[in-house]
Amino acid sequence: MSKKTKILLIYTGGTIGMMKDYKSGALKAFDFKKLLKNIPELNQLDCSIHSYSFETPIDSSNINTSHWVLIASTIEKNYDEFDGFVVLHGSDTMSYSASALSYMLENLSKPVIFTGSQLPIGDLRTDAKENLITSIQIAALRDKNKAVIQEVGLYFEYKLYRGNRTTKFNAEHFEAFGSLNYPPLAESGVHLKVYPEYLFRPKKQKSLIVHKKLDNNVAILKLFPGFNEHLLQSVLNTPNIKAVIIETYGSGNAPTEDWLIQNLETAIKKGIHIINVTQCSGGSVIMGQYETSEHLKRLQVINGKDITTEAAITKLMYLIGAGVSEKLFKTVFETSLRGEMN
Ligand code: ASN
């Protein structure tokens, strides 16, 4: 008799496990055991499902770097015993968490699938059951005794995406996530179709390394017409700031005013990393395509290419935490580490 595939569910909170507080009417996280009771279908799956729950499940708006360390450590502790991991997480910050975990788990050879829902699992019209059941099935997929998915994925509304390519783009549709610069890794319909050509495969199979040092002395500054020097200076002069993402227009464009150039130049000279990431959800930064990005190229601003803001900010936390030298930083950031950029 073949051994059953072992899956660990890691419950962090999110709408999937929420209930209405009868006094205020607001949704609040509730106990994991109650959540499991709502899905008797789990018993029909041909795998052995175990679970770990955050002591206090949270709305994902309360996620911080210490929660990412807790998720990574839980995977590390259980890595040899389980064939796959499903992380139940609120959708609001799921793309940030999936991106962070993709960097923290180096040489991953087992699936880590993030999922959640837009409606609580107890709701009649819930999307939670399909998301959870299919995520478990995906985490349990095996081919020639090896996991099919060997990366951090995000499954939502019939699609599995590479986690660090996603962004939450809709607060009410069941189709809440998009991956505009990378195709889905799998789609669920009558059949569960996996697209092998898009799966991440590390060059050599090495053992798992879990990185737990993250530095959150980083910032995101979104440009808008009328954006002024005081705002720029207040961000660049934040105590201990080590890196700032400038969310630019279109293909990486920004105003050409002298004050902007001078302030960025001073910051770069002080050793603050400046990264150009487009505020568009699809497409890439191409510095030098327009006159309005030539100044950034001249200043040696780091090119975020087609990375999402979520994957960029977490990559910064990871690289600074790992102590990447000032000399190498630009080259390392501009290199795809976990398939987060082209
Ligand atoms: N506020 C919720 C959360 O992110 C939203 C959700 O899960 N759909 O925890």
> Which domains can be identified in the chain, with CATH numbers?
5-210 (3.40.50.1170), 218-333 (3.40.50.40)
Pairing of strands 159-162, 152-156: antiparallel
Ligand 1 pocket member 59 (CB < 6 A) = yes
Alpha-carbon distance of 8 to 19, in angstroms, equals 24
Q: How far is the CA of 54 from the centre of ligand 1 (A)?
A: 15
118 lines ligand 1 (CB under 6 A): yes
Q: Which atom of ligand 1 is nearest to the CA of 118?
A: 8
What single-letter DSSP state applies at residue 279? S
Residue 95, ligand 1, Cβ within 6 A: no
Active-site positions read: 15
CA of 306 to the centre of ligand 1 (A): 26
In ligand 1, the atom with minimum distance to the C-alpha of 13 is 9
CA–CA separation, 89 and 24 (whole Å): 23
Q: Is 17 in the pocket of ligand 1 (CB under 6 A)?
A: no
pLDDT computed for residue 2 by the predictor: 60
DSSP E strand boundaries for 59-191: 84-88, 105-106, 112-115, 142-143, 146-147, 152-156, 159-162, 167-168, 177-178, 186-188
Distance (angstroms) between ligand 1 centre and the Cα of 50 equals 23
Helices (H) and strands (E) in the chain, counts: 9, 20
Ligand 1 pocket member 97 (CB < 6 A): no
Atom in ligand 1 nearest the alpha carbon of residue 15: 7
> What are residue 218's DSSP bridge partners?
243
3-class secondary-structure state, position 178: strand
| Digitized pLDDT (tens) for each residue of the chain, 342 residues in all | 468 999 999 999 999 988 888 788 888 777 777 777 778 888 889 899 999 999 999 999 999 999 999 999 999 999 999 999 999 999 999 999 999 999 999 999 999 999 999 999 888 999 999 999 999 999 999 999 999 999 999 999 999 999 999 999 999 999 999 999 999 999 999 999 999 999 998 777 799 999 999 999 999 999 999 999 999 999 999 999 999 999 999 999 999 999 999 999 999 999 999 999 999 999 999 999 999 999 999 999 999 999 999 999 999 999 999 999 999 999 999 999 999 999
User: Is the CB of 14 within 6 Å of ligand 1?
Assistant: yes
92 CA to centre of ligand 1 in angstroms: 5
8 Å CB contact between 217 and 240: yes
Question: Looking at residue 28, what is its pLDDT?
Answer: 79
Phi, psi of 278 (to 5 degrees): -75, 145
The secondary structure of residue 331, as a DSSP letter, is H
First and final C-alpha spacing in the chain? 43
Gap from CA of 57 to ligand 1 centroid (Å)? 11
Which among 28, 30, 61 is the best mutation to test ligand 1's pocket, defined by most ligand atoms within 8 Å of the CB? 61
Q: What is the DSSP string of 205-244?
A: ----EE-------EEEEE--TT--HHHHHHHHTSTT--EE
14 CA closest ligand 1 atom index: 9
Ligand 1 site, residue 178, Cβ cutoff 6 A: no
pLDDT at position 3 is 81
Strands 209-210 and 105-106, how do they pair? Answer: antiparallel
Residue with tokens 């955050």: 54
* Structure-block tokens of residue 218: 């980083």
Query: Residue 15 Cα, ligand 1 centroid: separation in angstroms?
Result: 5
Residue 157 Cβ contacting ligand 1 at under 6 Å: no
Report strand pairing: 142-143 vs 146-147.
antiparallel
Alpha-carbon gap, residue 287 to 81, rounded angstroms: 47
What pLDDT is attached to residue 31?
A: 72
